[in-house]
Chains A and B, each alone.
Chain A
Amino acid sequence: MRSVPASPHLDVRNVMWLLAAMVFVVAPHLLRMPYWIAVFFLAIVAWRGWVAWAAMHFPGRFVTTTLTIAAAIATFFTYNRIVGREAGVALLVVMSALKLLEMKTQREVTLSIYLGFFLVLTNFLFSQTIPLGIYMLVCVWIFIGTMVGFNRIGSSPTLIERMRPAGALLAQALPLMVAFFILFPRAAGPLWALPTDTRSATSGLSDSMAPGNISNLIKSDAIAFRVQFAGDRPAYSTLYWRGPVLTQFDGVTWSLSPDKSLGYPSTYARALKPTSYTVTLEPHNKTWLFALDVPALVPPDSLLLHDLQLRTPDQRPVRDRKRYEMTSYLDYRYGASTPRGPLREALRFDETRNPRTIALGRRWARESGNTREVLQKAFQYFNREFTYTLEPPPLDSRDPYDSFLFETKQGFCEHYAGSFALAMRAAEIPARIVTGYQGGEINPLNNELVVRQADAHAWVEIWLPDQGWLRVDPTAAVSPLRIESGVNAALGPIGVLPRLIAADPLGVLAGIRDAWRAMNSQWDAWVVGYSMDRQRQLFSELGFPGIDWRALGLWLMVATFAVGAAISIGLLVRDRPRRDEPSLAAWNRFCAKLAAAGVAPRAPHEGPLDFLRRVESSRSELAAAAHDITQRYVQARYGAGATREELRELARRVREFRPA
């Protein structure tokens, strides 16, 4: 049996490189995982580094087994599960550290590096942004550099000697990677059911509203969706993006109506100013879609409920970025013939809670002759002494709207909408809350409207017998700026970056931000969102509609061969022997002619003059010509050199040299 020698290539520097690469690739995970995992991982890696550095003994089997079991149990108790995205990745991180600890042979090094590639992939489960992509590319680069180091047997490479070959490999792999990315046929759906927490619960509107939820959302800069308008962009103050409609009310919280009957755009009494646009919705793990008030047509793969709430069929949450084309009527009238059932629901409230708000609403109703007067009174009331703020003081938990209206008088859209709707119901006007987004931000570079969580909004719809449902926005009474120009204008810039941008008079920062956002938008559309549909769209735009996987496979093969041939040629060109100098080429032709004429070939040690002497003695009839050529050659190559004409003359004489 052949014994396998202790691997000599596991030198300290290579091991340190591998450990560093592992720390780099795991770092984004460690930042979002529980504290103990980061400590555990770094401690184990440091231990392994110490073993390599001080040439220590490896920990025994008992120690590693105990650590493995303890880490698995700790992971289980942290997450209460062992499968799923968070727990699975945590387990992988912990186990890869332990794998490093017991890594002794070249084979185990290889496995650790491949494990590193898996860890790169797991990062993409959490984020696929440009910065993370670049960061992970660097990690892959370091891993390949580590592989180069482990294969430089016999000598230890420098930093450049590692990173340059690795960089060359990656750079030359790029064209083929791009070809594969574009051409590889994309599947329609997952191969097997995904764990439910595959995509993190992203922030977004919830299916209920109580004072405080939306103002929390507003602090988030995350993108809710992007909109590209087909024609002109409508006025900013009309950009009400309709989301969940909340009709049920328990005194504090507004929630969705249990009535799921469908609504039809064809029943609108007035439908003018149609506006077409495309929405790219970020995954929010909820079932609703957003559309401008009010949807004119229902995009495929969605439903329109009777309260004009657009949602996915079958309660399927939006887990991937979703693109849909929409048309909305900005000038509309609908719902005049709403049946009694929904109207009754829109009047219901709990008499025992918020008694002062209810009393206020009833007083307005008593003192007014018609609905218009009630509304006027309400708007005057809100216009008087309320403040629009993101940080409202805490409210009474039993009667929050009383405490808001009569004590604190500081609030955010959900406070205004909630108390307004309650007062309307008390005044016997059917009212409901509509949540969604208002406004957005135009990127002048690509004319795209970006709607962020910070644009979340809540408003009220009331029902009038002759007009149907009407949008009423009490926030507009308090802070018209919010509706006209957005939340940043109303509240001042939120966060560090908007503050800087606001302070930059030349708009340089704003320009950079716009460029960055436009780039991100393209990235999301064409890289992250490159799906089967996108692939089809791309190829039909290129003039190949209905392309199938066979054609794609053929193209892939062509691309592979083309790229492979290009790289091979590139590699071989550098190996090509340098072309002989003209004088040497002529001399070689001269020698070949003599050899063909029967002169024994010039020996390697024989100089040109020695050779000439031999030729002169053996073939005297050639002596003159041979002497002439040799002299010219020796002068050109070893002497003063030769001009272009002299070289040409040498070549001509060799050409005319005919030994019989």
Chain B
Amino acid sequence: MFADLRQSISDWIFRAAVPETPPVTLVQRRIFILPTRQGYTFGFTTLILLVASINYALSLGFILTFLLMSMAGVAMLHTWRNLAHLKLRPGRCDPVFAGETAHFGVTVETPSLTRFAIAVRRKDEEPVYADVVQSEIAAIALPVAASRRGVMSCGRLEIFTRYPVGLFHAWSYVDFNLQVIVYPRPDTAAGTPPAQSRSASEEGIPVAGDEEFHMLRPYRPGDAPKLIAWKALAREQGLLSKEFSAMASSELWIDYEEARSSNLEQRLSMLCHWVLTADRFGQSYGLRLPAAAIPPSRGDAHRTRCLEALALFQGSGAGP
């Protein structure tokens, strides 16, 4: 109850349009500043120094006390300045497989001097620190364990600093609505795509591994390196790719129905592994899901399209 109230007050104070259009510049009114616990302890320390100076009538003690107090005041301005006018943009948020570590990327630029120890963190997570140098772009990547398939949202980011002396915590919030696509965890035990999955093709059924060499054809962008005919290249015959009979003659359909498991995630894991296997062999493959089908093709873009379809797949029913 109290936590809810605090949360809503905090949302009201720190409200910001979500998502924000990059770049976001940390202007004056976006930056908040409060003393840290160290800062409060420091205040207490100067208070004791002051009392001691008064009591012992120590003029140099007064000088020390006032110097430290003024230093703290100046440090507040410096801490605030360390954050002010930074320019933030969304950074790389590369897709990952479930079980790997995803990274939410933010880039930071400074308009003037180097800003040291700029930290970015998600709510309740460990911050990541970076020094932001003038006319360079500092890329900050927040590691998050991607445990579940799907779309992982970063949520609101806190960018803060305590530099130079740690007495004050200056912070600002920014929400770029960063998202990472988490592919299913590949099920390496799923083996090669089942033979009957090629039912859609009219011809014979070479299983991965016993394809026969068919011909050499000119290299097409996207061909796997292992298909390149390096010997031909060495003979200066140009960049050629090997083509196998299975590829030439048939198209592989990776079908949801073929992945036999009672568990939806398990099925998707198997499909994921098959997609990766087919891609590794340079096989042309298609993906058939209950709601949609991706026609056979090959290459990185095709692979990404298939994996995304698996990542975003919403199973209506848990299969047969």
Chain A contacts to B: CB under 8 angstroms: 2, 5, 107, 110-111, 114, 117-118, 120-121, 124-125, 128, 132-133, 136, 140, 144, 147-148, 150-155, 157, 165-166, 168-170, 172-177, 180-181, 184, 187, 190-192, 194, 198, 320, 527-531, 560, 563-564, 567-568, 571-572, 574-575, 577
CB distance from A534 to the nearest CB of B (A): 10
Name which of B71-79, B224-232, B253-261 contacts chain A: B71-79
Question: A571 to B113, alpha carbons, bound, how many Å?
Answer: 10
Would you call B78 and A147 a contact (CB within 8 A)? no
Q: Which of B40-64 contact A (CB under 8 A)?
A: 41-42, 45, 48-49, 51-64
In the complex, 15 of the A-B residue pairs with CB atoms within 8 angstroms, ordered by the A residue number, are A117-B49, A133-B60, A140-B68, A144-B71, A148-B163, A150-B166, A151-B162, A151-B165, A157-B116, A169-B71, A170-B71, A181-B62, A181-B66, A194-B55, A568-B77
**B54 / chain A contacts, CB cutoff of 8 Å:** 187, 190-191
- Judged by DSSP, the binding face of B is helix
Question: A107 to B42, alpha carbons, bound, how many Å?
Answer: 12
Known: A114-B41, A136-B64. A527 touches B59 (CB 8 A): yes
Would you call A151 and B164 a contact (CB within 8 A)? yes
**B113 / chain A contacts, CB cutoff of 8 Å:** 574
Closest residue of chain B to A111, judged by CB? B41
CB distance from A135 to the nearest CB of B (A): 11
Question: A180 to B59, alpha carbons, bound, how many Å?
Answer: 12
Name which of B126-134, B188-196, B243-251 contacts chain A: B126-134
Q: Which of A177, A527, A564, A568 has the most chain B CB within a 10 Å cutoff? A: A177
Question: A93 to B248, alpha carbons, bound, how many Å?
Answer: 85
**Contact pick for B81, options A175, A528, A571, CB 8 Å:** A571
CB distance from B269 to the nearest CB of A (A): 32
Question: A176 to B52, alpha carbons, bound, how many Å?
Answer: 20
Residue B112 is within 8 A (CB to CB) of chain A in the complex? yes
**B37 / chain A contacts, CB cutoff of 8 Å:** 107
**Closest 9 A-B residue pairs measured CB to CB?**
A173-B70, A154-B129, A176-B70, A180-B66, A173-B71, A177-B66, A124-B60, A147-B165, A151-B166
CB distance from B55 to the nearest CB of A (A): 5
Question: A120 to B58, alpha carbons, bound, how many Å?
Answer: 12
Known: A152-B163, A181-B62. A571 touches B67 (CB 8 A): no
Question: A486 to B104, alpha carbons, bound, how many Å?
Answer: 82
Residue B38 is within 8 A (CB to CB) of chain A in the complex? yes
**A572 / chain B contacts, CB cutoff of 8 Å:** 81, 84
Not counting A118-B45, A168-B78, A176-B69, a sample of 11 additional A-B residue pairs whose C-beta atoms are within 8 angstroms of each other reads A110-B38, A117-B68, A121-B64, A154-B130, A155-B116, A174-B70, A184-B62, A527-B59, A527-B63, A568-B77, A571-B81
Residue B294 is within 8 A (CB to CB) of chain A in the complex? no
Question: A124 to B58, alpha carbons, bound, how many Å?
Answer: 7
Would you call A574 and B163 a contact (CB within 8 A)? no
Chain B contacts to A: CB under 8 angstroms: 37-38, 41-42, 45, 48-49, 51-64, 66-71, 73-75, 77-78, 81, 84-85, 111-113, 116-117, 119, 124, 126, 129-131, 162-166
Would you call B164 and A148 a contact (CB within 8 A)? yes
Question: A191 to B53, alpha carbons, bound, how many Å?
Answer: 10
**A529 / chain B contacts, CB cutoff of 8 Å:** 59
Would you call A128 and B67 a contact (CB within 8 A)? no
Q: Which of A180, A187, A530, A577 has the most chain B CB within a 10 Å cutoff? A: A180
CB distance from B92 to the nearest CB of A (A): 20
Would you call B165 and A169 a contact (CB within 8 A)? yes
Would you call A114 and B67 a contact (CB within 8 A)? no
Would you call A180 and B42 a contact (CB within 8 A)? no
Question: A133 to B63, alpha carbons, bound, how many Å?
Answer: 10
Question: A322 to B165, alpha carbons, bound, how many Å?
Answer: 40
**A563 / chain B contacts, CB cutoff of 8 Å:** 70
Closest residue of chain B to A127, judged by CB? B60
CB distance from A13 to the nearest CB of B (A): 15
**B116 / chain A contacts, CB cutoff of 8 Å:** 152, 155, 157
Question: A320 to B58, alpha carbons, bound, how many Å?
Answer: 10
CB distance from B130 to the nearest CB of A (A): 7
Question: A545 to B38, alpha carbons, bound, how many Å?
Answer: 41
**B45 / chain A contacts, CB cutoff of 8 Å:** 114, 117-118
**B42 / chain A contacts, CB cutoff of 8 Å:** 114
Q: Which of B37, B68, B70 has the most chain A CB within a 10 Å cutoff? A: B70
Would you call B77 and A564 a contact (CB within 8 A)? yes
Would you call B70 and A177 a contact (CB within 8 A)? yes
Question: A172 to B72, alpha carbons, bound, how many Å?
Answer: 11
Question: A226 to B154, alpha carbons, bound, how many Å?
Answer: 73
**B163 / chain A contacts, CB cutoff of 8 Å:** 148, 151-152
Would you call B67 and A190 a contact (CB within 8 A)? no
Question: A121 to B65, alpha carbons, bound, how many Å?
Answer: 9
CB distance from A378 to the nearest CB of B (A): 48
Would you call A575 and B51 a contact (CB within 8 A)? no
CB distance from B119 to the nearest CB of A (A): 7
Question: A181 to B165, alpha carbons, bound, how many Å?
Answer: 23
Known: A128-B59, A172-B74, A177-B67. A121 touches B166 (CB 8 A): no
**B51 / chain A contacts, CB cutoff of 8 Å:** 191
**A132 / chain B contacts, CB cutoff of 8 Å:** 60
**A147 / chain B contacts, CB cutoff of 8 Å:** 164-166
Would you call B75 and A181 a contact (CB within 8 A)? no
Question: A136 to B60, alpha carbons, bound, how many Å?
Answer: 10
**Contact pick for A154, options B52, B78, B117, CB 8 Å:** B117
**B59 / chain A contacts, CB cutoff of 8 Å:** 128, 181, 527-530
